[in-house]
Amino acid sequence: MVNVTELRPGNFFEEDGNIYRVLDILLNKTAMRKMVAKVKVKNLRTGAVTEIARNSGYQIETIRLDKKQMQYLYDSGDALVFMDQNTFEQIEIPKERLQWESQLLKGDEIVEIISYGSEILGVNLPAKVALKVTQCDPATRGDTINKAMKEVTLETGLKTKVPMFIEEGEVVMVRTDNGEYDGRA
């Protein structure tokens, strides 16, 4: 058990049957009040980001999550299949829980599976992934006063904006936190 004011970004805790990851914390102390901790958290079961406020002195039980490196194998239609490279054990995670991640996984990639007890909570992707451009319009002359960008479709079906010089068949680096172009691979 720790005081709510001791939480830091990246900590995990359980409260009211939900598991939260601390994204940010703001401590506010005014003249005649107790310190209030406003904690921005992400519910790992639902994916919702909310802010909770607790007075100083409120005790929270922090938890440790299990992290395991696994290889993404394939999409079985309603689930994504991952394999432990040491034991060759395979697990399936329902596709609706990994909608964003499924747009960035192409196969044979090593990812980090996060679990609490026997419950699988999600997947940590690398910071950037290399994806091939499968469809894009040719570059056209025009308004190039600003940074000229065009929309492309990547091999996983993700649509993103890239600079005009990128052609179909090229491999580009894409950030996994927001899906934006980050450079050529």
Q: What is the pTM of this model?
A: 0.70
Question: What pLDDT is stored for residue 109 in this prediction?
Answer: 83
pLDDT by residue (tens digit) across 118-163?
888 888 888 888 888 888 887 766 656 667 788 888 888 888 888 8
Q: Residue 10: is its pLDDT beyond 90?
A: no
Domains of the chain: 2-60 (2.30.30.30), 66-124 (2.40.50.140), 128-184 (2.40.50.140)
Confidence of residue 51 (pLDDT cuts 50, 70, 90): very high
DSSP the chain: -EEGGG--TT-EEEETTEEEEEEEEEEE--TTS--EEEEEEEETTT--EEEEEEETT-EE-B---EEEEEEEEEE-SSEEEEE-TTT--EEEEEGGGGHHHHTT--SS-EEEEEEETTEEEEEEPPSEEEEEEEEEPPP--S--SS--EEEEEETTS-EEEEETT--TT-EEEEETTT--EEEE-
Question: What pLDDT is stored for residue 103 in this prediction?
Answer: 84
